[in-house]
Amino acid sequence: ISGLVIVGVTLWTVFCKHQYISLLSTTNYAIGTYALLAAGVLAIAGGILGCCGVLHEHRAILLLYTFILLFVFLLEAIVGGLAYLYETQIETELQHSLNTTFMEHYGVSERQTQAIDSMQQTFSCCGAVRFEDWRHSVWLRSRRKDLIRPTEGRLVPDSCCITVTPKCGVRDGPSNIHYTGCIYEMTDDLKYHLILLGAIGLGLSAIEVFGMILSCCLYVKLKNVLD
């Protein structure tokens, strides 16, 4: 059950936040998420193996099951602890990297351009810290003709608009675009997910300890009976 919970939550996190991972300057968030996903898959496999060991009263399988639980426990505990640690650092990381990503990569990198557009629409925001950030962006100032999203007279990307329509970004008035920067909503959102991953990792690791104790007790009991 713990494995299914972990896999379900981490898959939800991956599918919901996979676009935004490209905007982070480090891979800590991605590594933690995928490590916890691996722990969940191992927990499911270990659970199936443990059931087989109990049904067939096979000590070797039970011993293998115990080692799998030990590995899953260590993985969950480490990821859980690191998630809480990273949660305290995510705001500082975003302050240093998000504005640079917006200013230098929008319109240049397809992946990051899509991620920024998605973020601005999802969080109803514009720019990294404020909408004026776009005035200093490569996208607006370079006048390059090979941009993924040509400016065509826009002052901000269309994804900044309250109601997104083609070329709505030509006006940057308060009635047309969002004025709040994306860093605030993104910070809160990532913190929430990191706290959730940390709680799951540390909380469910206790279940693995309980499983290891039961497995060891059963192993010893079978040894006494069979010997």
Instruction: Give the model confidence (pLDDT) of 128-159 as tens digits.
Output: 989 999 988 988 887 667 777 788 888 999 99
Domain limits at 216? 57-226
On whether residue 116 sits in a domain, the answer given is yes
Phi, then psi, of 180 in degrees rounded to 5:
-80, 135
- The most distant pair of C-alpha atoms in the chain lies apart, rounded to whole Å, by 84
Q: Write down the pTM of the prediction.
A: 0.73
On whether residue 37 sits in a domain, the answer given is no
On whether residue 121 sits in a domain, the answer given is yes
> What is the chain's mean pLDDT, rounded?
82
On whether residue 167 sits in a domain, the answer given is yes
On whether residue 149 sits in a domain, the answer given is yes
* Mean pLDDT (whole number) for 174-190: 89
42 neighbors 159 (Cβ within 8 angstroms) = no
Percent of the chain with pLDDT over 90: 15
Report how many domains make up the chain. Answer: 1
First to last CA, the chain: 33
The DSSP symbol for 163 reads: S
On whether residue 213 sits in a domain, the answer given is yes
CATH of the domain at 108: 1.10.1450.10
Q: 2's torsion region: left (phi>0), alpha (psi -120 to 50) or beta? A: alpha
On whether residue 16 sits in a domain, the answer given is no
On whether residue 40 sits in a domain, the answer given is no
